[in-house]
Structure 1
Amino acid sequence: MSAAERLSMRIFLDTGPVLEFTCTEFTTTTSRATGELTGYQVEGATGSVPKWVAIEHIIAITREVSA
């Protein structure tokens, strides 16, 4: 990924809101036993990064690379 490329991220919550931001790197961790999301890490973010979101309220995470 070049310095100009950013990831457009969306985190969908079970209560309805969709959190949108851009970053240079987004990684997730999952349970080896269940495959469920257990955490995420954001690098080089712009905008409001949702650090307060309880993992159990996340129903989907999507991303796309934009130049």
Structure 2
Amino acid sequence: MSTWITCTSIEGRKPIQINMALAATYVEHKGGTRIWVPVDEGAIDVVETPDQIAAAISDIENASRT
């Protein structure tokens, strides 16, 4: 199952799509979040906080249940 969210890259401040189903972990980093996706980019730094990312994932999972 894919769980695509849109985040804002720290570098360039542009929107990027990340499949969180492939993310190994995400942690607070430099005022935003570092997302580790070992099968793709490696580390991706985004502006959103870990709490905002968790909420986005939860919203997607809840929407798929309805």
Asked if TM exceeds 0.5, the reply is: no
Task: Give the structure-2-normalised TM-score.
Answer: 0.40
Greater relative contact order (Cα < 8 A, sep 6+): 1
Higher helix share: 2
